[in-house]
């Protein structure tokens, strides 16, 4: 994990939620959305901003080409401070690409909403306050 490096003007870290979206059935897509939303709620409760693409563009399927959503999600990830991987992300080409980009950008990547993530959020906020 990279060191905590908040921007001086920001005081709350943004955690991008990455996990599978697509599935064989609409029911399974909704289950993937719900799992990401649950992770997002946990992040909010930990004191960070959760950026959950599953909620942002969920069920927009077919309204634009898939690349619109996928490229947009990667742009949102670039503007985040950390990434939380959820569900069976290893089986999702999109989530794997998100993790790869996060690592390339030097963002911390968490594989569960645990005490480690909570501590990272606390330390990020502490560092941000010290910069002010």
Mean pLDDT split into 10-residue runs, the chain, 132 residues: 56 96 96 98 97 94 92 96 97 96 98 95 92 76
Amino acid 10: pLDDT: 72
**pLDDT on residue 5:** 61
Question: pLDDT at position 8, please?
Answer: 47
Tokens of 118: 């909570």
3-state secondary structure 44-90: HHHCCEEECHHHHHCCCCCCCCHHHHHHHHHHHHHCCCEEEECCCHH
- Domain chopping of the chain, boundaries: 14-126
> In the CATH hierarchy, which fold is given to the domain comprising 14-126?
Rossmann fold (3.40.50)
61 backbone dihedrals φ, ψ, rounded to 5°: -45, 130
**Angle CA 44–19–2, to nearest 5:** 65
pLDDT score for 131: 81
Helices 26-46 and 115-131: crossing angle in degrees, nearest 10, is: 50
pLDDT of residue 9: 54
């Amino acid at each position: 994990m990279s060191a905590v490096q908040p921007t001086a003007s920001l005081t709350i870290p943004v955690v991008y939620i990455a996990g599978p979206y697509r599935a064989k059935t609409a029911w399974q897509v909704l289950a993937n959305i719900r799992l990401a939303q649950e992770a997002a709620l946990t992040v909010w409760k930990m004191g960070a901003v959760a950026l959950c693409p599953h909620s942002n563009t969920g069920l927009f399927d077919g309204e634009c080409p898939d690349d619109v959503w996928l490229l947009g999600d990667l742009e949102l990830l670039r503007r985040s401070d950390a990434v939380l991987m959820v569900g069976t992300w290893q089986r999702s080409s999109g989530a794997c690409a998100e993790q790869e980009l996060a690592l390339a950008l030097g963002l911390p990547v968490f594989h569960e909403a645990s005490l480690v993530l909570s501590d990272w959020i606390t330390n990020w906020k502490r560092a941000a306050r010290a910069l002010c």
